[in-house]
């Protein structure tokens, strides 16, 4: 068993970070850098949107290199749909960071988030990168976590400490995401650091599997962004025996990584634009991951389901209807549905239930829905939000 500690990404030995305002946003931090004092291996998962921002393409290329040392991130401007200049600006952010840190540009990754279709103010970004490098510190994780936010209302970070083969290992993470959240992945960014000693190949495998059961099982509004990415850097400073095969040490690392990523994913939903409730949907007895995910996302992306939860209306019929059009095969006559501990459907037939008890359950900040399909041995848990008046207000005036 491990323990949660403070410090975010810089709780991990060997990592430094900073977050500053360079002028992309008027009076909030908008540029972050985090840096490993020693060479690290990296892994990444990127948006499935056909429209990919320049920083996504540059980072996916550089991540193929053997080592990664630094990541530079700006908020307030996505550098997406910005043509050749956007590509050149992403490359310049990499080269400037590398120059100030005395690195090879191929050791630097870049990420951006914010409004699509605007050019970066590179004169401000250039000065900001220099400031951020000068401000790097071993306690700068929280400042970096603040600098990557857009419409978020809270910082999202965690650090977790555990043991592998008698060595203390730490994982730190920070994330941003509030709207445009339906990852495969969503405007979500997550950056993870660890001091575990692991091969680049297994690090990528661990991250890919972890994303499937965390960030790819959350949704706020069904939209997948142009800039989504999750990056993981491992610098080996824990000095555990190198993990280069899928044994006990690998499983311990994966379990800890899953805990960190699920915690971050839930934080994103709690801070979803206009969110008043987190909705947790657990599907029991599904045939496989893909069919379970498709059904869970169908439920959580349904505007009728989301508005029912916002209105605290136990309208379970909207849930079974969303399941029916999710294009995931199931047998309706087998389905049981529970709201919290209250069963509302049994074997495909609605039950008479206590409306007062249902209202008590739906008034909670976190509402759990359990659906048993009785078709297989897989269980899937996904997280989403309700749909409130405030969500419409925020997104009807995003640019202004």
Same domain, 50 and 184: yes
Which of 242, 270, 298 terminates a domain? The answer is 270
Q: Which residues of the chain have pLDDT under 70?
A: 178-187, 220-225, 273, 391-400
Residue with tokens 């951006």: 112
Same domain, 120 and 71: yes
Number of structural domains the chain divides into: 2
4 is catalytic: no
First to last CA, the chain: 47
Same domain, 207 and 151: yes
Domain that holds residue 50: 3-270
Same domain, 238 and 312: no
The residue ranges of DSSP E strands in the chain, in sequence order, are: 3-5, 15-20, 31-46, 68-77, 108-115, 156-164, 167-176, 189-194, 218-219, 229-234, 278-286, 336-339, 342-346, 349-350, 366-372, 378-385
| CATH number of the domain to which 373 belongs | 3.10.20.340
> Are β-strands 342-346 and 349-350 bridged in parallel, bridged antiparallel, or unpaired?
antiparallel
Single out the residue of 42, 63, 34 nearest to residue 145, CA to CA.
34
Same domain, 345 and 259: no
Same domain, 304 and 229: no
Supply the pTM of this predicted model: 0.91
How far from the centroid of its chain's Cα atoms is residue 310's Cα? 23
pLDDT in tens, 152-202: 888 999 999 999 999 999 999 999 976 544 444 446 899 999 999 999 999
Do 9 and 174 contact (CB within 8 A), yes or no? yes
Q: Buried b / exposed e across 369-381, counting CB within 10 Å, b at 16+? A: bbbbbebeebebb
Same domain, 127 and 211: yes
Residue 182 has a pLDDT of 47
Residue 396 has a pLDDT of 65
How far from the centroid of its chain's Cα atoms is residue 203's Cα? 17
Residue 93 has a pLDDT of 98
Same domain, 138 and 183: yes
Do 8 and 173 contact (CB within 8 A), yes or no? yes
Which of 229, 245, 270 terminates a domain? The answer is 270
Which of 236, 270, 304 terminates a domain? The answer is 270
Residue 270 has a pLDDT of 83
- Any idea how long the chain is? 400
CA distance 190 to 229: 7
CA distance 97 to 92: 8
Same domain, 228 and 326: no
- SS3 assignment, position 384: strand
Residue 186 has a pLDDT of 43
Residue 184 has a pLDDT of 45
| Helix/strand/coil percent split, the chain, to 5 | 35, 30, 35
Same domain, 288 and 175: no
Same domain, 115 and 219: yes
Same domain, 207 and 352: no
| CATH number of the domain to which 73 belongs | 3.60.70.12
Single out the residue of 102, 105, 52, 103 nearest to residue 82, CA to CA.
52
Query: Which of 10, 59, 187, 194 is labelled catalytic?
Result: 187
Do 191 and 71 contact (CB within 8 A), yes or no? yes
On the question of a cis peptide bond just before residue 185, with omega within 30 degrees of 0, the verdict is yes
CA distance 277 to 365: 5
């Amino acid at each position: 068993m491990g323990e949660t500690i403070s410090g975010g990404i810089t709780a991990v030995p060997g990592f430094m970070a900073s977050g500053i305002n360079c002028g992309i946003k008027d009076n909030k931090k908008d540029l972050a850098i985090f840096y490993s004092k020693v060479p690290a291996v990296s892994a990444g998962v990127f948006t499935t949107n056909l429209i990919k921002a320049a920083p996504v393409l540059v980072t996916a290329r550089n991540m193929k290199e053997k080592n990664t040392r630094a990541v530079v991130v700006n908020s307030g401007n996505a550098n997406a749909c910005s043509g050749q200049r956007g590509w050149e600006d992403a490359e310049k952010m990499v080269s400037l960071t590398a120059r100030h840190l005395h690195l090879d540009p191929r050791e630097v990754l870049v990420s951006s988030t914010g409004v699509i279709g605007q050019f970066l103010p590179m004169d401000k970004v250039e000065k900001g990168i220099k400031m951020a490098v000068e401000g790097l510190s071993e306690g700068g994780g929280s400042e970096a976590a603040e600098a990557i936010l857009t419409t978020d209302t809270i910082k999202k970070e965690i650090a977790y400490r555990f043991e592998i083969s008698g060595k203390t290992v730490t994982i730190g993470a920070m994330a941003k995401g509030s709207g445009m959240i339906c990852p495969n992945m969503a405007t979500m960014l997550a950056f993870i650091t660890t001091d575990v000693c692991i091969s680049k190949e297994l690090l990528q495998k661990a991250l890919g599997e972890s994303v499937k059961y965390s960030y790819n099982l959350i949704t706020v509004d069904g939209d997948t962004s142009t800039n989504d990415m999750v990056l993981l850097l491992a610098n080996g400073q824990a000095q555990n025996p190198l993990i280069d095969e899928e044994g006990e040490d690998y499983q311990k690392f994966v379990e800890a990584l899953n805990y960190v990523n699920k915690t971050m994913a839930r934080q994103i939903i709690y801070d979803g634009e206009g969110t008043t409730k987190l909705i947790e949907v657990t599907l029991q007895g599904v045939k496989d991951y893909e069919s379970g995910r498709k059904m869970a996302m169908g439920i959580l992306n349904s505007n009728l389901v989301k508005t029912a939860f916002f209105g605290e209306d136990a309208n379970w019929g909207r849930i079974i209807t969303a399941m029916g059009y999710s294009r995931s095969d199931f047998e309706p006559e087998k389905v049981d549905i529970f709201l919290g501990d209250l069963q509302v459907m049994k074997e495909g037939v609605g039950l008479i239930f206590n409306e007062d008890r249902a209202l008590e359950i739906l008034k909670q900040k976190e509402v759990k829905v359990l659906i048993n399909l009785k078709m297989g041995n897989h269980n899937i848990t996904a997280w989403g939000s309700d749909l409130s008046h405030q969500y419409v207000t925020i997104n009807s005036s995003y640019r202004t």
